[in-house]
A and B are shown apart, each in its own frame.
Chain A
Amino acid sequence: DGGITQSPKYLFRKEGQNVTLSCEQNLNHDAMYWYRQDPGQGLRLIYYSQIVNDFQKGDIAEGYSVSREKKESFPLTVTSAQKNPTAFYLCASSSPRDSFQETQYFGPGTRLLVL
């Protein structure tokens, strides 16, 4: 089945530790995105990538890093510089950038908790 997978479902981070969240898609989408969602809030864009080996900062990139070495994969690292990392993290992908029928599809999310 085509879709977006995120792992793990739950992740625990110790103080000062970097953790990496996985996002994989087999939809052949060029663009991928990472969002952060806090309780009762909407989605805020962390990073996005429109093509392999290229990515851009979103609205709240501080304390996060990404890579895009393969079209299918867009891992997010939450670094120790992110002082308030507890949140629900959502990965999304979308159809080619020159399409006017833009649609983003989301993965199931990863909940990050700080110990």
Chain B
Amino acid sequence: GQQLNQSPQSMFIQEGEDVSMNCTSSSIFNTWLWYKQDPGEGPVLLIALYKAGELTSNGRLTAQFGITRKDSFLNISASIPSDVGIYFCAGLAATFEYNNAGNMLTFGGGTRLMVKP
């Protein structure tokens, strides 16, 4: 299946710094989801976006649904050590032909975040 282009693949930052990551696609999406996965655990939903241009916050996390509907961004402000993990984006395509199996998500390859205390 199609993969979303997620970047960067990894980041090593100092505690207190802001973080930004993004996902892009050649297809238009109706939904963008951002997950965080801790080692050995399942992904946990952080933010869900359902409308182009939408900007949604969850504590220190802010995500935006790109106006072109082909991209999304996740920002983390004032990072702390517990932010360490892998962050995944996921999108639900807009066209029935691409998504002809129903509500099938496409996942990005993940951004591995490491925070130095």
Contact = CB atoms under 8 A, between A and B. Distances in A.
B9 to A, nearest CB: 9
B33 A97 contact: no
A45 B42 contact: no
Interface of B: 1, 3, 30-31, 33, 35, 40-45, 48, 50, 88, 90, 92, 101-105, 107-110, 112
Interface stretch (A11-19, A65-73, A75-83, A100-108): A100-108
B31 A43 contact: no
A46 to B, nearest CB: 12
A33 to B, nearest CB: 8
A28 interface: no
Interface residues of A, number: 30
A103 B88 contact: no
Contact of A102 (B1, B31, B88): B31
Nearest to B44: A106
B88 A109 contact: no
